[in-house]
Amino acid sequence: MHDIVRKVVSGRLEDMFEADALASDLSGRAMHHLVSELFPICRSITGDGVRQTLRKVQEHIPLTTCEVPSGLKVFDWTVPPEWNIRDAYIKNSAGERIVDFRACNLHVVGYSVPVHVRLSLGELKKHLFSDPAHPDCVPYRTSYYAPTWGFCIAHDQLVALQEDEYEVCIDSILEPGHLTYGQLRLSGKSSDEVLISCHVCHPSLGNDNLSGIAVATALAQHLRNRDLRYSYRFLFIPGTIGSITWLALNQSSIGKIKHGMVLTCVGDAGAPTYKRSRRSNAEIDRAWIYTLQQSGSPFTVLPFSPFGYDERQYCSPGIDLPVGCFMRTPHGQFPEYHTSADNVAFVKPAALRDTLERAIATIDVIENNASYINQKPMCEPKLGDYGLYGGIGGKSAGDYQMALLWLLNMSDGDASLLDIAERSNLSWDLLTKAAEALTSAGLLKRVEDVSGK
């Protein structure tokens, strides 16, 4: 299967990316700038727009681009023909462009077949799509698997159209080519992997598409500078068909994925939302929910549903990976969703940074989660003799002492740090510091150190 995937690398990857500009900017403006740069590109599930997007991401991380040929059977699906578009418009009888793809790439229904005709208003309306609920916005529509053509326009413009003869042109190409995706694997001490996935298939939509790309890119930058326990696989893929294709081509290795998350709609000003994996209580689910609880700010946890983004493919019953989805306002629940109002201004730098920090906090949990065995389990040890009382002064001293006691009481070889964190409601930072102190004092040992693993 792997032999049919063409890997495309332009030049030396290590010479193509900036070190960590996105990850180190505490304001989120660098990620927002990346959103702005990507916004004008017309993306779809295949085509040059995806390649252009991945080349821009390669300026920040050493991404490898992979190409899968049209016509390849992937489970119950087939990799579609490649779609590219050069121009599209609707002109009135005076020759004026009243709808112009160059002004807004949402105007063309995705995957529209080429057309160049003159039509009456009645005939034209059969191919026009609008959203009366948002009359001043251009909606986003696609027709990937049913060959047709169409234009999306604001409903206010639709009702104002006059009887006339209209020239309609969509200068597109739909022919055998490739489905393109990008991936990056960061090696850790273990070959077990954490999957980070985002979609790259939407045109000019800032929150539903580009925010996930920006945060995933910044997260990859951050992790490149860390000593990692797990290996991390980043996928920048077309939605649905991209994840299905990747899973079909990598069936022999997906068992290495121990945790995963889909990042989407992560740049709006709404409160965080986490959607559980199909397993519902996987370690990644618990880690996300714990870090959200520890933040002290509002959040929502959703149960798993087989509708949404690529988590539904990763969590399909025959694959059943522990992959959840992190969002801010969920898809379809903000009025700008799939309209021209989901623009660069709708994406907030502070929200991008907040999302990145929450993802890093969650990764800290899965990176450092471990089970310990109390080496003095017969009642509470006299901590003062080990220099562990008063080890941290100030406001957090009481919590630190409680962390020591919780760890000593619960470290029976079965309970993990995350188990203890959930039960004690103490911060991860305090618990990990306390575990280090108890281990240094010889009062705790990691299970793998005891077993010799």
For 177, the token pair is 């080519």
Q: Bridge-partner residues for 90, per DSSP?
A: 99, 168
CATH 3.20.20.390 for the 2-78+181-367 domain, yes or no: no
Looking at residue 400, its amino acid is Y
Element (H, E) at 29: helix 29-38
For 406, the token pair is 């919780």
Q: What angle do CA 309, 313, 318 make, to 5 degrees?
A: 160
Element (H, E) at 229: none
Q: Which of 312, 272, 275, 278 is nearest to 294 (CA)?
A: 272
Q: Bridge-partner residues for 139, per DSSP?
A: 339
Tell the residue number behind the tokens 């709708």, with chain if given.
346
Cα–Cα distances in Å, from 334 out to 43, 120, 349?
Answer: 22, 36, 18
* Cβ-based neighbours of 240, under 8 Å, separated by 6 or more: 45, 310, 313
Q: What angle do CA 374, 379, 383 make, to 5 degrees?
A: 75
HSE-up of 43 (CA within 13 Å, CB side)?
Answer: 31
Regions of the chain where pLDDT drops below 70 = 1-3, 9-19, 390-397, 449-453
Cα–Cα distances in Å, from 352 out to 83, 91, 323?
Answer: 31, 39, 21
Q: Are 195 and 237 in contact (CB under 8 A)?
A: no
Answer left, alpha or beta for residue 134, where phi above 0 means left and psi between -120 and 50 means alpha.
Answer: beta
Count the Cβ atoms, other than its own, within 10 Å of residue 19: 11
Q: Are 172 and 114 in contact (CB under 8 A)?
A: yes
Report how far residue 330's alpha carbon sits from residue 160's, in angstroms, rounded to the nearest whole number. Answer: 33
Per-domain residue ranges for the chain?
2-78+181-367, 82-175, 369-451
Class of domain 369-451 as given by CATH: mainly alpha
Tell the residue number behind the tokens 């403006």, with chain if given.
29
CATH 3.50.30.90 for the 82-175 domain, yes or no: yes
